[in-house]
Amino acid sequence: MKIEIKDKKDTRSGFGAGLLELGRTNPNVVALCADLTGSLKMNAFQDEFPERFFQCGVAEANMMSVAAGLTIGGKIPFTGTFANFSTGRVYDQIRQSIAYSEKNVKICASHAGLTLGEDGATHQILEDIGLMKMLPNMTVINPCDYNQTKAATIAIAEHEGPVYLRFGRPSVPIFTNEDGSVSFTTNSKFEIGKAQMLNEGTDITIFATGHLVWKAIKAVEILEEKGMSVELINMHTIKPLDEEAVIASIKKTGCAVTAEEHQKNGGLGESIASVLIRNHPAPLEMVAVNDEFGESGTPDELMAKYGIDTPNIVEAAEKVIARKHG
C-alpha cells in the first residue's frame, strides 16, 4: 500500500468549508457557536450568512437546547465548539432536548483527543465517542482527513436525525478525494454508516477511525514490507456500526486491531469487540488510550507517549497475528 499525499490540512477546516458550501446550497442550514468561531473555522459562514449564524457566547448548554428549538420550524442547526464542550459539558441537554426528542441537530466537535496538544487534559476529551454512541437515536461520525470531513459535513445535512461529527485541530495528510472517497488500492466511496475499504488483505484487519487512519496507513506499509497481507478499513461511522463489513472482513482475516484517538473504554475498539463476540469471536488488540487523562505536549509527542502511533499499531498487529496462530 503506497499512498500519495495531496496536501496537509486540519480537519476542522474541512468542516468550515463544508458548512460554507451548505450555507450556499441549503437555506435551512443555520449555525451556532460558543465563542470559538475562529477555532471552528466558522467565520466564512458567519460573514456570508450573518442572519443564519447565532453567536451563543461561552454558554454551551444553552447553545445545545437553542439548536433543538431551531429544528422546530424546519431549520438544520450545526453547533460548533470543542469536543469537550460539545459532549461532557452538555450531556443532559443533548440527551433530553436532542437525542430523546429526536431533533435534527448536527453537533460538530473540533479539537477532539490528544492532538489538541498543549492545552492539556482539561480540553483533550477522550471519552466523547463513548458518551455519544451510548445515546439512542445518535449517529457518530469521525472522518479521517480534510476532504472527508468536508464531505461528511455536507452529508449530515441530508441525514435526518441527531449527529455527532468529530474532528480535530492539527494539520494531517489529505489522502481522500474531494467527496471523501478513496481510489488507491480500492475504490471506495464515503457513505454514512458504511465502512470504507482502504486496502484488502488476508492476514489481519485494521479498523481505524479519525486521525488514526493515516497512522494505520503508515503501519500497513511497514507490515506489508514485512510480508503480511493487511486489510485496512476506515470506520468513519462508529454508530451505526457497519457490522456486516466487520464480520465479512474478520471471517477473511481471523484477527483484528482497532486504532483510535480515544479511551479504550467506550471507543471504536469496544464496538468492534462487541460485534466479534456476538458473531465471530477472533483475537483483537486495541490501540487506544488506556484509562488515563492526557497532558500538555505537541500532538506527535502525545501520540507517542500515550501509545496511539504507527509503531503501536504495527506492534499490536504482530501480537494479534501471533495470537491467531498461537
Partner 1 sequence: MHIFLVAKRLISLKTDLRTIPESYQQLPIFFDGKNLFLAAIESTLKMLETIEKPIETMSETSSIDWDYLQKFCSQTRRDIVRMTNGVNSGHPGGSLGCTEFFVAMYNVIMKHDPKNFTMDGIGQDVFFLSNGHISPVWYSVLARCGYFEVGELATFRKLNSRLQGHPATEEGLPGIRVASGSLGQGLSVASGAALSKKLNNDSNHVFSLHGDGELQEGQIWEAAMFAVAHKIDNLISTIDYNGRQIDGDVDDIMPLGDLHAKWVAFGWDVLEMNGNNLQEVVDTMNEAKNRSGNGKPIMILMRTEMGQGIDFMMGTHKWHGVAPNDEQLKQALAQQEETLGDY
Binding residues for partner 1 (CB under 8 A):
30, 51-52, 54-57, 59, 61-75, 77, 92-93, 95-97, 100-103
Residues 6+ apart with CB under 8 A from 112: 82, 83, 125, 128, 142, 166, 167, 168, 210, 261
Q: How far is the CB of 101 from partner 1 (least distance, A)?
A: 5
Residue placing its CB nearer to partner 1 in the complex, 97 or 196:
97
Q: How far is the CB of 67 from partner 1 (least distance, A)?
A: 6
Residues 6+ apart with CB under 8 A from 75: 28, 29, 30
Active-site residue, selected from the candidate residues 4, 21, 48, 60: 60
Which CA distances in Å does 291 have to 34, 160, 307?
Answer: 29, 34, 12
Q: How far is CA 91 from the centre of its chain?
A: 18
Q: How far is the CB of 18 from partner 1 (least distance, A)?
A: 21
Q: Report, in angstroms and rounded to the nearest whole number, the Rg of the chain calculated over CA atoms.
A: 19
Q: How far is the CB of 23 from partner 1 (least distance, A)?
A: 13
Q: How far is the CB of 30 from partner 1 (least distance, A)?
A: 7
Nearest to 100 by CA among 140, 129, 138: 138
**87: left (phi > 0), else alpha (psi -120 to 50), else beta?**
alpha
Residue placing its CB nearer to partner 1 in the complex, 64 or 155:
64
With beta carbons less than 8 A apart as the criterion, state whether 171 and 145 touch. Answer: no
Residue placing its CB nearer to partner 1 in the complex, 67 or 219:
67
Name residue, grid cell 506489508: 224
3-state helix, strand, coil split of the chain in percent (to 5) is 40, 20, 35
Residue placing its CB nearer to partner 1 in the complex, 67 or 116:
67
Whether 243 is a known active-site residue: answer no
- Residues that are catalytic: 60
